[in-house]
Amino acid sequence: MAKYVVLGATGQTGTATANALIGHATVRVAVRNESKGAAWRAQGAEVAIVEDIADVDALARAFEGVTGAYVLNPPDYASDNLLTRAEQVISAVAEAAQRAHLSKIVALSSIGGHLPQGTGHILTVYKMEEKLKSLPTKVAIGFVRAAGFMENWRPLLPIAQQTGRLPSLYAPLDRAMPMVSAIDVGQTCADMLMQEWQNTQVWELHGPHPYSPNDVAASFSKALERDVQAVTLPESEWSSLLAPMGFNSATIHSYSEMIRAFNDGTLVFEENGTKRIQRKTTIDEIVSSWLGGSSLS
């Protein structure tokens, strides 16, 4: 049976990818400590301890003897230099992949992952793509460029519940943007690991429909059974919303640049030379699941 390793197995997409693989392949999850691996062991997965995702030796051990790997370069929002940290991580992943002679990599990228500047923290996945493309040509490398995560709206649910207002950094409020659920991202990455393909592939991952902030507010209204209206948050107030979520001043700057790139139309899918994948999970289903109204997992 094929064996796959999943980085970030306690995060949204890593969890979804590993869950989608279990039952179809042998799964090894990379986690920071044994306590985080206990639940995975109970499901029959192997556990590799990688305390620091930039640790080449630990990553190489995790990659040893597997058919393929799911990798990602998650923004470190607590870092004073997000881009430098991201470059350290992807350099470690690339070196470990070569040491372990990995033959297949599926990497989580993003809408706008082809753009070399002006995209804020999306630049971290651009750097990842460029680094992995430099690996030997015998390595099959696939990039899943995902639309914006529906789950990114979840921290605003308590505000909407208490006030009936959904503060939005995205504007205008009626402009729909590509969005996808983390569950569908994980399923797609698992599918790509298990499928046969060669060379470098780029898949652009969409949900069933684009959604506007007004559409998200309507989903909140249904789930909360109260009126919720999206409201545009002035840029002068962005930091007051982001700081309580764990962003420092440097990462607020980077995140704000990303939002501006969405708002001015810079941040879009490449489309040329890529393959489009469309998944089915809706924003209504995702929001309902946060309140226990859906069996999504």
Strand partners, 109: 145
Express each pLDDT in 52-99 by its tens digit. Answer: 999 999 999 999 999 999 999 987 877 888 899 999 999 999 999 999
**CA torsion angle 117 121 125 131 (round to 10):** 70
pLDDT beyond 80 at 163: yes
pLDDT score, position 78: 79
Distances (CA, A) of 1 to 5, 258, 279: 13, 41, 27
Q: Please, what CATH class does the domain formed by 3-149+180-208+268-281 belong to? A: alpha beta
Express each pLDDT in 187-239 by its tens digit. Answer: 999 999 999 999 999 999 999 999 999 999 999 999 999 999 999 999 999 99
Q: Where in the chain are the domains?
A: 3-149+180-208+268-281
